[in-house]
Chain A
Amino acid sequence: MGDFDWSVIQRSWGYLFREGMTFTLTLTAMAAIGGTILGTLLAMMRLSSHKWLSLPATGYVNLMRSIPLLLVIFWFYFLVPYIGAWLTGSSTPVKVGAFASSFITFTLFEAAYYSEIMRAGIQSIPRGQIWAGYALGLDYWQTMKTIVLPQAFRNMLPILLTQTIILFQDTSLVYVLSITDFLGAASKVAQRDGRLVEMYVFAAVVYFVISFGLSLLVKRLQRKIAIIR
């Protein structure tokens, strides 16, 4: 292993973390928040008794879950400019850029997965509580907001966070759009300095430490929540 130069990590530290990891974490956080909100709405639509609400939501979730994330990334990279043109009434596709496009893609894609989790969470609340809410004179939104969703969210928190760890790992796929996320930064340094081994091993270690650390925290949280219940 003598010809490896690990100092390349130290030299590119600022670029890797201040630029790359910042983007990775921002994308993860924004997609997690946006995905959870949109996913919760999708779950509520799916559980609705109105067919015109439940069918499109079911179709959307099943479609997103049956195609690879990479294909979705490519889809939206080309589709979003056309949607932008349609929304703004412009005659030419709107330039959105790889950054905005990846935020939109991950939010819309992860929403399908978060929605399945939230659906299970909502269904885990006994029906009687919803009827009790109606009996108290609350309307649908009030019942959801004050009774069902807070409990569903708390019950599902460990699973939502586990999904977020998966999302954190999945953001590495923006590599195909040549975005400088953490892996993108590592890859650019690797190509520039011809240090593929060092940079990719280091990237693997960093992803492992963060994902494994977070998964230990989730396990701890799970035990805590189990006691409260």
Chain B
Amino acid sequence: MNYNWNWGIFWATSTDGVHTWFGLLLSGLAWTLFVSFCAAVIALVIGSIIGIIRTTPNKWLVGLGNAYVELFRNIPLLVQLFLWYFVLPEVVPKGLGDAIKAMSLPWASFVPAVIGLGLFTSARVAEQVRAGIQALPRGQRMAGTALGLTLPQVYRYVLLPMAYRIILPPLTSETMNLIKNSSVALTIGLIELTAAARAMQEFTFQVFEAFTAATIIYIVVNLIVVNVMRIVEKRTAVPGFIGPAVGGGGH
């Protein structure tokens, strides 16, 4: 094997003439985190709404929620991003389509990436929210109704506070999936972390240094997410209820 290792390459100036390659990777990381954060907000809001309506007594709402989840779960993320990026501007009224096409570069990729990733993830969040609510004993819903609470109040004060605590661990892995999935946005031109590593590899030919750096950065981000969520789990744990995350001591 005759591969020329050159770990100093990270401090060489990149093709933009200003930043080092390391700086380019960091800017890629910033885009990865930014796009993931915005998509996470969309996913959490829409996913919660869809998840909740799938547990309501109304059968039309349940059907609508199920259809939504099946639609977004059974089309590959890459194809969904293409639909938002290439197809949407062509099928909306011409004025709006032209406005979308006139967006400047990072945003022209960023906006469809956020929408695509957000909705794709929202279907998975909806599945978790539904599972979390259904994991609660049926008596809780009945007790809430018996106390004279309206259905929205039952959700707000009885079901959701516990359901969200139950689904924190699966939401942690969804968050990590989202960060990993955001790399697919490189196909519609967003220079996020994987794309930055790819650009570095293409221009410097230092394949393994570039990909090693990206791999390490992803692992570090993963570890940070896991630990932050573990803290959230501990902070929000209700004593005596769901306590495996607290660990160690007994009562």
Binding site for B on A (CB under 8 A): 1, 63, 66-71, 74-75, 78-79, 82, 85-86, 91-93, 169-170, 172-173, 175-176, 183, 187, 190, 196-197, 200-201, 203-204, 207-208, 211-212, 215
Docked-complex contact A172 and B211, CB < 8 angstroms: no
Instruction: Give 17 A-B pairs besides A66-B180, A91-B2, A200-B79 with Cβ atoms closer than 8 angstroms.
Output: A1-B91, A70-B183, A75-B215, A93-B1, A173-B76, A175-B187, A176-B186, A183-B76, A197-B87, A197-B90, A200-B82, A200-B83, A201-B83, A203-B79, A204-B80, A208-B71, A215-B74
**B181 proximity list for chain A (CB < 8 A):** 68
- Chain A residues contacting B201 (CB-CB under 8 Å) are 74, 78
Contact of A173 among B78, B207, B215 (CB under 8 A): B78
Contact of A66 among B77, B79, B208, B218 (CB under 8 A): B218
**Which residues of the partner chain A approach B198 to less than 8 Å between Cβ atoms?**
74
> Does B86 lie within 8 Å of A78, measured CB to CB?
no
Are B218 and A78 neighbours in the complex by a CB distance under 8 Å? no
Considering residues A71, A196, A211, which has the most beta carbons from chain B within 10 angstroms of its beta carbon?
A71
Query: Is B215 in contact with A71, judged by CB distance below 8 angstroms?
Result: yes
CB proximity to A under 8 Å, residues B215-235: 215, 218-219, 222
Interface size on B, residues (CB 8 A): 39
Query: Nearest 5 pairs between A and B by C-beta?
Result: A211-B74, A68-B183, A169-B76, A68-B180, A172-B76
- Which of B87, B91, B180 sits near A69, CB closer than 8 Å? B180
> Would you call A207 and B79 a contact (CB within 8 A)?
yes
The closest CB in chain A to the CB of B71 belongs to: A208
Q: Is the pair A208, B90 in contact by a Cβ cutoff of 8 Å?
A: no
- Does B133 sit at the interface, judged by CB under 8 A? no
Nearest-neighbour CB distance to chain A for B215, whole angstroms, equals 5
With A67-B180, A169-B76 known as contacts, the answer to whether A78 contacts B211 (CB < 8 A) is yes
Interface of B is mostly: helix
Which chain B residues lie closer than 8 Å to A86 at the CB level? 1
- The complex places the Cα of A75 from the Cα of B75 at a distance, in Å, of 25
Closest chain B residue to A210, Cβ basis = B74
Min Cβ gap A195→B in Å is: 10
Q: Is the CB of B222 within 8 A of A66?
A: yes
Residues of A within 8 A of B75 (CB): 169, 204, 207-208, 211
Do residues B207 and A78 form an inter-chain contact, with CB atoms below 8 A? Answer: yes
Q: In the complex the two chains form, is B87's CB within 8 Å of A200's CB? A: yes
Q: In chain A, what residue has the closest Cβ to B216?
A: A67
The interface residues of chain B lying within 8 Å CB-to-CB of A207 are 74-76, 79
CB contact between A183 and one of B73, B78, B222 (< 8 Å): that residue: B78
Whether B70 sits at the interface, judged by CB under 8 Å, is yes
Q: Is B91 a contact partner of A197 (Cβ separation < 8 A)?
A: yes
A172 to B79 CA separation, bound complex (whole angstroms): 8
**Which residues in B have their C-beta under 8 angstroms from that of A197?**
86-87, 90-91
B211 near A200: Cβ-Cβ < 8 Å: no
Min CB–CB distance A98 → chain B (angstroms):
15
A181 to nearest B CB, angstroms? 11
1/0 per residue, CB under 8 A from A, across B103-136: the answer is 0000000000000000000000000000000000
Complex: A70 Cα to B67 Cα, angstroms: 29
In the assembly, what is the distance between CA of A200 and CA of B89, in Å? Answer: 13
Give the chain A neighbours of B182 by CB distance below 8 A.
Answer: 68
Shortest beta-carbon distance from B76 to chain A in Å: 4
Task: List 13 interface pairs A-B (beta carbons < 8 Å), by A numbering.
Answer: A66-B176, A66-B218, A66-B222, A68-B182, A70-B194, A71-B214, A169-B75, A201-B87, A203-B82, A208-B71, A208-B74, A211-B74, A212-B74
Q: Shortest beta-carbon distance, B26 to chain A, in Å?
A: 16
Most central of A68, A183, A212 by chain B CB within 10 Å: A68
Is there an interface contact between B219 and A67, defined as CB atoms closer than 8 Å? yes
Contact, CB under 8 Å: A183 / B79:
yes
Most buried by A among B76, B87, B187: B76
Distance in Å: Cβ of B176 to nearest Cβ of chain A = 7
- Chain A residues near B77 (CB-CB < 8 A): 169
B197 A71 Cβ-Cβ under 8 A: yes
Residues of A contacting B79 with CB < 8 Å? Answer: 172, 183, 200, 203-204, 207
Contact at A70–B186, with CB atoms within 8 Å?
A: yes
A82 close to B1 (CB less than 8 A): yes
Say which residue of A66, A82, A190, A215 sits within 8 Å of B219 (CB atoms): A66
- Which residues of chain B in 165-217 are interfacial with respect to chain A, using CB atoms and an 8 Å cutoff? 176, 180-184, 186-187, 194, 197-198, 201, 207-208, 211, 214-215
